[in-house]
Amino acid sequence: MAPARRLIQHVSRWLRIAGALAALLLLLLAPSLRNYYLPRRTVRIVPDLRYLPDSVNPRHVLDLYLPTLTVGSWPVAVFVHGGYWQPQDRRFFQPLTGLHGCVGVALANAGVATAVIGYRQFPEAPSLAAALDDVASALRYVVDHIEEYGGDRRRIFVIGHSAGGLLTQVLAVGRELHERGRLSPSDFRGFVSLGGLSDLPAFLPQVDGSLAQRIRQSAGDASGLLRFSPRLQLRAEHPPLLLVVGDREVPSLLAQHRAMSAALHSVGGDFKTVEVAGLDHMDLVMKLAQRESLVKNEILNFIVRHR
């Protein structure tokens, strides 16, 4: 029995060593090492700021990513992550993916103070209206407090990805900011949508039945589908807009981008729409920390142009 016991102990030890090495290899190969952990060494992170002080909901918080390589006061970005109908959060599998802190460190290293916000998503947020309440409250908090951290409240930009891009566009072109956050689109220098939706009625026939049902439920009714479709609410007086998509985007979202681009060309105003070669839906944020990220360069050029 003794030799068998020693063999079992020997095998067990090597299995633990192999497991530890495999975990280390996984971390070394994980995108988070390149797009979050290494770039964050030159960024000051202020985590878990509660933007609704009376709420204990873990979604009602934000993380600040502040530059250390430049001196404030800095322009400011507020990032609204995606998910919503398939919920994510502001630290979505961050140890492996780097999401969504990778956006914060990428922009902070470029001299832009960045707030990565949490907000309730479906079904916790029973409607898009509830999600917009959260985003507007986070924006209100940033406007009121960002100067305490070295940011310039007069130079705030709102950036959203995917469903967050939809919410960002809704806030840019409708009355939601005023109704929910006592703010106006004119309080912000510009709005950026990365792979965002813009027309819910046009999107519904292109998705499976379960997702279509969730979209209808979150909109409330037919009037809600129109209300939360920025392409259908667009007017010539819109604030500066930047819409970015990858040319490897899923066809339904690429069609959304092109339809919104056509609508913007029709009404005019201050806008730019871009299709970036070689990128898919998640590349828009996952690859922001790359030195030559075309998406990051478009965002930074937009910020400089409207500073």
Q: Is residue 138 assigned to a domain? A: yes
- Written as six digits, the tokens of 93 are 């599998």
The strand pair at 241-246 and 190-194 is best described as parallel
* Contact assessment for residue 159 and residue 78, using Cβ atoms and an 8 Å cutoff: yes
Q: Is residue 136 assigned to a domain? A: yes
Q: How far apart are CA 194 and CA 284, in angstroms?
A: 7
Residues in the chain: 307
Q: Is residue 226 assigned to a domain? A: yes
* Contact assessment for residue 162 and residue 128, using Cβ atoms and an 8 Å cutoff: no
DSSP state of 59: T
Q: Is residue 30 assigned to a domain? A: no
Q: How far apart are CA 7 and CA 291, in angstroms?
A: 50
- pLDDT tens per residue, range 192-239: 999 999 999 999 999 999 999 999 999 999 999 999 999 999 999 999
Instruction: Note the pTM of the prediction, 2 decimals.
Output: 0.91
Q: For tokens 């510009």, what's the residue?
A: 190
- pLDDT tens per residue, range 74-106: 999 999 999 999 999 999 999 999 999 999 999
Residues 6 or more apart whose Cβ sits within 8 Å of residue 91: 63, 99, 100, 101
Q: Is residue 190 assigned to a domain? A: yes
Q: Is residue 17 assigned to a domain? A: no
AA letter at 250? V
Percent of the chain with pLDDT over 90: 87
Q: How far, CA to CA in Å, does 233 sit from each of 53, 208, 229?
A: 33, 25, 7
Q: How far apart are CA 154 and CA 136, in angstroms?
A: 17
Q: Is residue 13 assigned to a domain? A: no
The residue segments making up the domain with residue 58 are: 38-305
Q: Is residue 253 assigned to a domain? A: yes
- pLDDT tens per residue, range 20-76: 434 444 444 589 999 999 999 999 999 999 999 999 999 999 999 999 999 989 999
AA letter at 282? M
- Written as six digits, the tokens of 278 are 């070689």
- How many structural domains compose the chain? 1
CATH number of the domain within which 110 lies: 3.40.50.1820
